[in-house]
Amino acid sequence: MDTAYGGDSFVIVDAEAMGFSLKPEEAHEIARLGVRITNAANKALGFDHPENPDWRHFSFCLFAGKVERTAEGLRAGAAVAIQPGKVDRSPTGTALSARMAVLHARGEMKEGETLTAVSLIGSTFTGRILGTTKVGDRPAILPEISGRGWITGIHQHMLDPSDPWPEGYRLTDTWGAR
C-alpha cells in the first residue's frame, strides 16, 4: 500500500492485488474492506501532515486500478471507499491528486502528463501534473483536475444571533461513531 495526501489523506491499495477488477458489483465488498483498511492504517501508522498538525488520520482508501498508457494519456480505474462504508460515485479529485503524486514519486508519471481516473460507474476525472513543489520538507506535485459535476442539492446555512458558537466548534472526529 501507499499513503498520500491530495487535498485529503489516502491509503492507496492495488485493486487487482486485493482481488478486485473494479466492477460495479464489487462495490459492497470494496466499501467494507476499504473501511477496514483505513481503520487499520490509522491504528498502525497514523497520518502526519507536514504543515497541518491537526490532520492526524487517513480519511479514505483508494482501490487503484492498473495504469494503462493510451494515445490520450494514462488511464486507470479507481474506487474510493468512504467511512462509514460506501463507495464514491466519482473517482474523486483528491484521490486522483494523491495517485498522481505517488506515480510521480515512483517516476511513473511526468510533469505535463495526464491521468484519467474512471470510477465504478464510469464517471471520470482527468488530472495533469503542472509542476512540482514542496509541502513542508516533502516533495509534492501541483495537480490540475478536470471533470464534470452536477448539482445534487442547494443548502442554506443560517446563523442565529443568539448562537453561543457562531464560528463553530471543535471536537475529535465523530464521523462514523457508533
* DSSP one-letter code for 161: T
Question: What's the pTM?
Answer: 0.86
pLDDT tens across 99-151, in order? 999 999 999 999 999 999 999 999 999 999 999 999 999 999 999 999 998 88
Residue 31 bridge partners (DSSP): none
For residue 157, give every residue at least 6 positions away whose Cβ sits within 8 Å of its Cβ, in sequence order, or none.
none
pLDDT of residue 175: 61
- Residue 113 C-alpha cell reads as 502528463
* Largest Cα–Cα separation, the chain: 59
- pLDDT tier, 178 (very low <50, low <70, confident <90, very high otherwise): low
Q: What is the full DSSP assignment across 32-64?
A: HHHHHHHHHHHHHT----SS-TT--S--EEEEE
pLDDT digits (tens, 9 = 90+) for 5-56: 999 999 999 999 999 999 999 999 999 999 999 999 999 998 999 999 889 9
Instruction: For residue 174, name the pLDDT band (cuts at 50, 70, 90).
Output: low
The pLDDT, as a whole number, for residue 94 is 97
